[in-house]
Structure 1
């Protein structure tokens, strides 16, 4: 299907369902979202100079950043400052826009000029990894200048087929005693990824094989309980959500918790979170040792074992986690096991 035919099909779909989002429309048209965006007559392909583009976003002033996966949409408003890229890894570090970039999977970038001008990044499969939208306080002239600096001739979007996920090796093939010892010897939460790589375990497998007392499966209701409890007590929390290419973090309180159909939402000034609760399969309270004491998180996964969202109490290196957070996490209800008669 050529670009103009594709765009006509999209407009036809949009006419019958005005509220349909680009991601869902692309799925309906059996294409990737990157192909849909590339077909938009108002979109401009950008050179894949990710570090330079990300570093140039600060001059836009306040923007809204959106990072998502299938079951979580994480939106933050603020200034896009303190970007540093080191090879294929990078971060943006400031109180509002707090991001981790994994650029090895980034392939396409577009400026989309419609009613809400944006810069959008996609991975090699054509899935959106990160989007940056102008707000009514953004500098539109700076946006135009940034776009013209990185504009390329229209690129051909040819997404890779989605690979099967990492095949989980049997538990019996893993040196479980050594893995547990490695877990107990962690000095920092960032030691968890190297530990999983060293033993070649998937994330949910790591939780299953964790040392006794360090992982507890809890009811999916825990997500709602946690957000309502944090809101009621003004407890500052950290909310991580993302995908293979980008992780976005909110640090601070949450206030307005609103369920709407299958979605559970946080609708606060500067921070919106949308969770598709019907896609949640498992939730775990996880405890990891660090040099600052135990760090406790609530981790949520979909049916394929992909992380949807992760919660921590607000903390900084060198400080133990907030006792109110530890207490809340440990008070969440256990999962109800199905009894087979």
Structure 2
């Protein structure tokens, strides 16, 4: 499965050492939340229940979830993605794509028939008559940034619930667009909402994610994850960052401005901007494979899509040097406000 952030592949292919790369291949915020000083005990002792409770309460507040008991912390949303098919027991799942590639194999591994559809109506047609059907979509979607109105998602979850099914909404990038989140309604029957901590806060290595779902399902998922699912340091970092409203507000403004700069830069280079979020820009070009190679030879790694060779996804440069190196490789002037 191809993913962004695969610098080991880049190093092996192009012979450039690790410190020679600018990694723009992920949608991870390059301006990471400043890590707090952590007590030594968080590293040496087992995670404590009161710290888990504190994290869950902070996450519930940040995501607008009324009842913290409906929120399950996990060591990254990937752990939840792989458990959900088995726990839900769906015999047929439909994935709205193209999107994050791990959903289809996860449901297939659990024995479900999987249909990949480009639109919700086509997905519903494919699920007609299925026992405990599951419909999965990302909002905003990765890689094109497509969004679906929350009211439609809630109605869709209600419709699936009447058939014993579930709508899974992956909100990995919803921190940059909180108004589209259905997290506040995550306790409704037929709805599971996944939230990723690491992307917006720029701390993917912390491995922290959450599911919002009805209480009985939340309890089952917690039991399946087992005790001490989230490390002590991750509990502390997550709690602190999720409670920092001022940082989050300022970061949303900064990311929106930088994404606009990146779109301008890529348009000047001849790319057609076809989607994105404040954390990444998706572009199209018939010369995309050649551009991917040219950028890589300059030590700039962007996300390519083997199944859609005309597409490239660019994350945000981390600093002024990164902006200048990208603009120089693209052969265009850096927008005045960038860097």
Q: So what's the TM-score if we normalise by structure 1?
A: 0.27
TM-score (norm 2): 0.27
Which gives a bigger RCO, structure 1 or 2 (Cα 8 Å, sep 6+)?
2
Greater strand proportion: 1
**Higher helix fraction: Structure 1 or Structure 2?**
2
